[in-house]
Amino acid sequence: MEKIIIFDTTLRDGEQAPGASLTAQEKLEIAFQLEKLGVDVIEAGFPIASPGDFQAVSDISKRIKNSAVCGLARCLKQDIEAANNALKIARHPRIHIFLATSKIHLEYKFKKPEEEIFALAKQATKLARRLCDDIEFSPEDATRSERSFLYRVIEAVIDQGARTINIPDTVGYSYPQEVYSLITDIKNNVPNINKAVIAIHCHDDLGMAVANSLSAVLAGARQVHCTINGIGERAGNASLEEIVMAIKTRKDAFINLYTQIKTKELFPTSRLVSNLTDFIVPPNKAVVGRNAFAHESGIHQDAVLKKKITYEIMDPHDVGISESQLVLGKHSGRHAFRSRLEALGFHLNDEQLNKAFIRFKEVADKKKDIFDDDLRIIVEDEIRVVKPIWQLESFEVNSGTKIKPKALVTVNKKGKKLNSVSSGDGPVDAVFKAIDKITGYNAKLEDFRLEAVTSGKDALGQVSLKLKIKDKVISGRGSSTDIIEAAIRAYLNAVNKLETK
């Protein structure tokens, strides 16, 4: 059996998704979960990009034991040294250097001839290899590069000690047969290619990132770059969960290939990344979407009851989806609450547990049955709040078909209660305007989504939104059985994030 190395770039390319910025603490939390999931390499960030990125890569290097930790660098001395410094404490450090090789990039981005780029790639690999044993090289925009130049660069960087050659489809332009030929041609035309592992890195601009990655695997690539939920620059990257489950489910096509991913951790990882990045997973998303295993039609339901294999090619339990269980109600005590949370993978300290328990009781007063999914949202809302600088105290809304909606909102800032009244186009608009009057921000609502967490009329509603404040787009989430309250919580969550960051 041959292993397909899973290189996760959620914390680097994934974080490049517009509006998906994560704090160093949130990145660490995701890194722990990626390690639990069993990814081979965690690309933790781009250390030269900002002090925050440097810190995150260095924190992750300190704490991650089993997965290799990787930092990105351009072919520049200062980038490579920054990556090396951030990775110093890692048990298995890897420096990933990249340089574009396509004519389009050379002409318009660098304005440099091929020979200069060739020399830069060689020098940078040599320097990186002096500092770190494990070097990965990416000829950026490889799929649009002239073949002969691409082969020359790959051969040269392998000679300088690159152990992995990653082939990026940077702009998501390729299609599966083309990727298959490219990998095959690299194997046939780069004389020293057997000294390196071939990797593939696909973007989803034409919706083919996963298909292209799998095609590369069939042609001989043995490492795949991917992200949780497929988040990433523009249309995103190849989705980790889809690649892993395709290889596992279609053993007849991916003969003798396996990944070391613990697939039962796929769903919890997807939820964590979605909650921390505020990127909602579409209900119809393959493998981890809410509807991925839901059978609506009567014919399908009947057949599945008779024999699952009729309409289910994967077992939902294999990817960590279990039926959301009815677990607690308003009479449940702290002990039952803590044990259920531990079963769901949350290990809270006493202060976090207290906060989450108070919120649980508030929700249980309004909602008779509390399911696992409700608990997850309650805990995530309470323990992952960035510093709660602005907190909701109370609100009143007056709205109807014949009146202009009006809202009174009271918030608490450092123990001081502040309130304001405003009218708006709707009740949500009115509460947001009232909050703006209090905080002094003139926030523009860029996106607003409401989702029911579980079923039933008393379901928890979760609001995810994006605000534009002073040219920064910042996301927020909040939940409640009352959708106006959920909207206020999400709005304040975004404002708190802005002030904390």
Write each residue from 180 to 209 as x if it is in contact with Zn ion (CB under 5 A), else as -, in one continuous string: ------------------------------
Binder of residue 138, out of Zn ion, ligand KIV, none (CB less than 5 to 8 A by kind): ligand KIV
Q: How far is the CB of 237 from Zn ion (least distance, A)?
A: 6
The residue from 8, 13, 241, 372 that contacts ligand KIV (CB under 6 A) is: 13
Q: How far apart are CA 137 and CA 121, in angstroms?
A: 9
Q: Site size for ligand KIV, by CB under 6 A? A: 9
Comparing CA positions, the residue from 332, 336, 340 lying closest to residue 376 is: 340
Stretch that binds Zn ion, among 5-13, 42-50, 55-63, 397-405 (CB under 5 A): 5-13
Give the residue with the Cβ less far from Zn ion, 243 or 364: 243
Q: Quick check: 168 binds ligand KIV (CB under 6 A)?
A: yes
**What element of type H or E holds 321?**
none
Stretch that binds ligand KIV, among 162-170, 178-186, 354-362, 413-421 (CB under 6 A): 162-170
Q: Quick check: 53 binds Zn ion (CB under 5 A)?
A: no
- Packing angle between helix 114-131 and helix 147-159, nearest 10 degrees? 30
3-state DSSP assignment of residue 145: coil
Binder of residue 98, out of Zn ion, ligand KIV, none (CB less than 5 to 8 A by kind): ligand KIV
Stretch that binds Zn ion, among 11-19, 93-101, 184-192, 337-345 (CB under 5 A): 11-19
Q: How far apart are CA 265 and CA 320, in angstroms?
A: 6
Q: Quick check: 242 binds Zn ion (CB under 5 A)?
A: no
How many CB atoms are closer than 10 A to CB 201?
30
Write each residue from 86 to 125 as x if it is in contact with ligand KIV (CB under 6 A), else as -, in one continuous string: ------------x---------------------------
The 3-state secondary structure of 148-194 reads HHHHHHHHHHHHCCCCEEEEEECCCCCCHHHHHHHHHHHHHHCCCHH
Torsion angle of C-alpha atoms 177, 179, 182, 184, degrees rounded to 10? -70
Q: Quick check: 201 binds ligand KIV (CB under 6 A)?
A: yes
Stretch that binds ligand KIV, among 166-174, 349-357, 407-415, 454-462 (CB under 6 A): 166-174
Q: How far is the CB of 398 from ligand KIV (least distance, A)?
A: 51
Q: Quick check: 138 binds ligand KIV (CB under 6 A)?
A: yes
Q: Quick check: 13 binds Zn ion (CB under 5 A)?
A: yes
Instruction: Tell me the β-bridge partners of 8.
Output: 42, 226
Q: Quick check: 140 binds ligand KIV (CB under 6 A)?
A: yes
How many CB atoms are closer than 10 A to CB 339?
11
- Cα distances (Å, whole numbers) of residue 159 to 72, 129, 166, 193, 199: 20, 11, 15, 10, 17
**The pair of three-digit structure tokens given for residue 196, joined into one six-digit string:** 């390196």
Comparing CA positions, the residue from 189, 7, 219, 228 lying closest to residue 96 is: 7
Give the residue with the Cβ less far from ligand KIV, 70 or 430: 70
229, amino acid identity: N
Task: Please enumerate, as own/partner, the contacts of 52-57 that have beta carbons within 8 Å and a separation of 24 or more.
Answer: 52/23, 52/24, 54/82, 54/85, 54/86, 55/24, 56/11, 56/22, 56/24, 56/27, 56/28, 57/83, 57/86, 57/87
- Asked whether 219 and 179 are in contact (CB, 8 A), the reply is yes
Q: How far apart are CA 491 and CA 493, in angstroms?
A: 5
Q: How far is the CB of 41 from ligand KIV (least distance, A)?
A: 13
Stretch that binds Zn ion, among 10-18, 332-340, 413-421, 464-472 (CB under 5 A): 10-18
Residues 6+ away with beta carbon under 8 Å from 346? 379, 383
The residue from 67, 170, 277, 422 that contacts ligand KIV (CB under 6 A) is: 170
Stretch that binds ligand KIV, among 144-152, 165-173, 239-247, 353-361 (CB under 6 A): 165-173
Q: How far is the CB of 71 from ligand KIV (least distance, A)?
A: 12
Give the residue with the Cβ less far from ligand KIV, 49 or 459: 49
Residues that bind ligand KIV (CB under 6 A): 13, 98, 138, 140, 166, 168, 170, 201, 203
Kindly list the residues in this chain that would bind Zn ion in the complex (CB under 5 A). 13
